[in-house]
């Protein structure tokens, strides 16, 4: 098979959200801390009728319907998630409800978990399967689904929730450049979930920021080396039209992009002009460690990168700024933002993706676009995802109500024998929702 990649996409995020400006005031944080300091506008969250299973059911069902894909045509289904509902039974098995109805139980794949990286692992599994001798000619389907919630404190405004579904196969409009890919993996305790009766992670915020940037540097260096061996010329920021980052919060994305600029400077790449070289010269002799600590370098490189950031990154930031950290879905929601904003002009372009999962696992990889053919065309993907309308039709909650919901969810996490309110009045038609968890912890969902 040729041009293996992403044929179709759908994104779902809850219709319930909270303005960061309002949360900031409620939390007594200084004005601008969440909106400018973290760079976030709004945060989506699940109410008691939604969870990672209902969101993934909604995204998968909607993708199959809107692109008219016969459920029998799916041969592999992979889920990436770090939201643990069951320590054994995969989310994938819940999604089988959709396929069993159509007589298709011949579907490989289970769940992949490592913080925000599981979705990328799932995507690679599907692409590798299509490219392998085991491929049976059918499509792969990848689902990234997460609900990011944090205990009270500075991490709470970096929550979010969403599910992204992606159809994988040959002759795709979004093609993997499989040779241009580099990983960095290491054992670190920056963000983890050792408390099995709580949904909240244990997080060392500062360490996780530094780990993210170190992983970014390592992946970028290695990707540049591989590209140079392959193509016989240097790689720099100018060789990709867009850079898409895993987005815990927008400020980290800004810092990441300026870090790439600093890397290009250190590599003496053609993307850095003479005046930029002069400005960055004082930072040339910093050790790696010093460079992560230097506020001066951070501010200087961010200023220098600003025009390029506006061109190459800003179009990818819409959904992550509006919905928050969607963990495994975050990178792909950023990618969906790019398709939403630029689908008309993407053909022929390259985008570099950076996936990061704490603990830590990271991969930088390259995708290339072509128009594609209906229904698997860039413009149809943008119109199916319908991002603007989904964002506009959300309902804003107060911080008090949000906190009340989180309290209820703390009790419900791992609990049995309860009915939800079944209140689906805010959900769009076609949305799945949780109705009951019975005395044997079995979960039941309905579709609006
Ligand atoms: N106006 C403008 N900016 C402000 C204001 C203000 N009034 N007040 C603070 N800021 C800025 C700070 O200067 C800082 O920006 P800078 O880094 O550019 O200097 C930013 O707001 C954040 O403030 P801090 O005090 O540095 O950090 P805080 O204690 O609020 O914690 C953190 C932020 C660490 C991101 C926390 O939210 C967290 O732990 N989140 C979860 C971990 C995470 O997302 N890690 C990322 C990778 S791993 C993953 O994806 C889960």
pLDDT digits (tens, 9 = 90+) for 138-171: 999 999 999 999 999 999 999 999 999 999 999 9
Q: How many C-beta neighbours within 10 Å does residue 136 have?
A: 10
28 pLDDT tier (thresholds 50, 70, 90) = very high
Q: Is 201 exposed, middle or buried (0-12, 13-18, 19+ CB in 10 A)?
A: buried
Please work out, in degrees rounded to the nearest 5, the angle formed at the alpha carbon of residue 289 by the alpha carbons of 285 and 291.
50
Domain-wise residue ranges, the chain: 5-447
Structure confidence at residue 80 (pLDDT)? 98
- What's the DSSP call for residue 282? G
Structure confidence at residue 137 (pLDDT)? 98
Dist. CA 19 → ligand 1 center (Å): 17
Nearest one of 174, 170, 139 to 63, comparing CA atoms:
139
377: CB partners within 8 A, 6+ apart:
173, 371
315 pLDDT tier (thresholds 50, 70, 90) = very high
Structure confidence at residue 233 (pLDDT)? 96
53 pLDDT tier (thresholds 50, 70, 90) = very high
Q: Render pLDDT for 351-363 as a digit per residue (tens, 0 to 9).
A: 999 999 999 999 9
405 pLDDT tier (thresholds 50, 70, 90) = very high
Dist. CA 357 → ligand 1 center (Å): 18
Rounded Cα distance, 234 and 269, in Å: 7
Q: Render pLDDT for 322-337 as a digit per residue (tens, 0 to 9).
A: 999 999 999 999 999 9
Phi, psi of 103 (to 5 degrees): 80, 15
Structure confidence at residue 170 (pLDDT)? 98
**Which atom belonging to ligand 1 lies closest to the Cα atom of 32?**
1
Structure confidence at residue 106 (pLDDT)? 98
Structure confidence at residue 168 (pLDDT)? 98
57 pLDDT tier (thresholds 50, 70, 90) = very high
Structure confidence at residue 117 (pLDDT)? 98
What share of the chain in percent tops pLDDT 90?
100
Structure confidence at residue 31 (pLDDT)? 97
List the catalytic residues: 82, 116, 246
CA end-to-end distance (rounded Å), the chain: 38
Nearest alpha carbon, ligand 1 atom 32: 205
Rounded Cα distance, 176 and 174, in Å: 7
Q: Are strands 139-148 and 74-80 parallel, antiparallel or unpaired?
A: parallel
Q: Render pLDDT for 194-229 as a digit per residue (tens, 0 to 9).
A: 999 999 999 999 999 999 999 999 999 999 999 999
ipTM over 0.85: yes
Dist. CA 375 → ligand 1 center (Å): 41
- Which of 30, 31, 34, 38 most suits a substitution to test ligand 1, by most atoms within 8 Å of the C-beta? 38
Structure confidence at residue 344 (pLDDT)? 97
Report which secondary-structure segment, H or E, holds 6. strand 5-12
Residues in the chain: 448
Nearest alpha carbon, ligand 1 atom 6: 33
- Mean of per-residue pLDDT scores for the chain: 97
User: Please, what CATH class does the domain formed by 5-447 belong to?
Assistant: alpha beta
Dist. CA 34 → ligand 1 center (Å): 8
- Read off the pLDDT of each residue in 265-274 and give the average, rounded to a whole number: 95
Nearest alpha carbon, ligand 1 atom 27: 154
């Amino acid at each position: 098979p040729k041009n293996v990649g992403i044929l179709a996409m759908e994104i779902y995020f809850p219709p319930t959200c909270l303005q960061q400006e309002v949360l900031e005031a409620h939390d007594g944080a200084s004005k601008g801390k969440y909106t400018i300091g973290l760079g976030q506008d709004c945060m989506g969250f699940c109410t008691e009728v939604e969870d990672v299973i209902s969101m993934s059911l909604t995204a998968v069902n909607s993708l199959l319907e809107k692109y008219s894909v016969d459920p029998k045509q799916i041969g592999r289904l992979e889920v990436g998630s770090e939201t643990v509902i069951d320590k054994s039974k995969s989310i994938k098995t819940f999604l089988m409800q959709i396929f069993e109805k159509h007589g298709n139980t011949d579907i490989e794949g289970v769940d992949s978990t490592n913080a925000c990286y599981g979705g990328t692992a799932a995507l690679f599994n599907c692409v590798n399967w299509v490219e392998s001798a085991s491929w049976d000619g059918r499509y792969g389907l990848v689902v990234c689904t997460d609900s990011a919630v944090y205990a009270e404190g500075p991490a709470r405004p970096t929550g979010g929730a969403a599910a992204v579904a992606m159809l994988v196969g040959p002759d795709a409009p979004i093609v993997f450049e499989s040779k241009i890919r580099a990983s960095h993996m290491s054992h670190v305790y920056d963000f983890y979930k050792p408390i099995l009766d709580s949904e909240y992670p244990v997080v060392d915020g500062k360490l996780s920021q530094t780990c993210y940037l170190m992983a970014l540097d390592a992946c970028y260096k290695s990707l540049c080396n591989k590209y140079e061996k392959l193509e016989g010329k240097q790689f720099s920021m100018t060789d990709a039209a867009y850079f898409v980052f895993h987005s815990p919060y927008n400020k980290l994305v800004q810092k990441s992009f300026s870090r790439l600029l600093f890397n290009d400077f250190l590599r003496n790449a053609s993307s850095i002009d003479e005046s930029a070289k002069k400005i960055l010269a004082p930072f040339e002799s910093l050790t790696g460690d010093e460079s992560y600590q230097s506020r001066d370098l951070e501010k200087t490189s961010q200023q220098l990168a600003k025009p390029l950031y506006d061109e190459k990154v800003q179009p990818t930031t819409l959904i992550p700024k509006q919905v928050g950290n969607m963990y495994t879905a975050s990178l792909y929601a950023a990618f969906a933002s790019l398709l939403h904003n630029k689908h008309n002009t993407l053909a022929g372009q390259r985008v570099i993706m950076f996936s990061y999962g704490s603990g830590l696992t990271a991969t930088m990889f390259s995708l290339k676009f072509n128009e594609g053919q209906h229904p698997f065309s860039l413009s149809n993907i943008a119109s199916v995802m319908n991002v603007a309308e989904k964002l506009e039709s959300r309902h804003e909650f107060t911080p008090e109500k949000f906190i009340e919901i989180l309290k209820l969810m703390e009790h419900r996490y791992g609990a049995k024998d309860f009915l939800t309110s079944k209140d689906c009045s805010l959900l769009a038609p076609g949305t799945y929702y949780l109705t009951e968890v019975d005395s044997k912890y079995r979960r039941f969902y309905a579709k609006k």
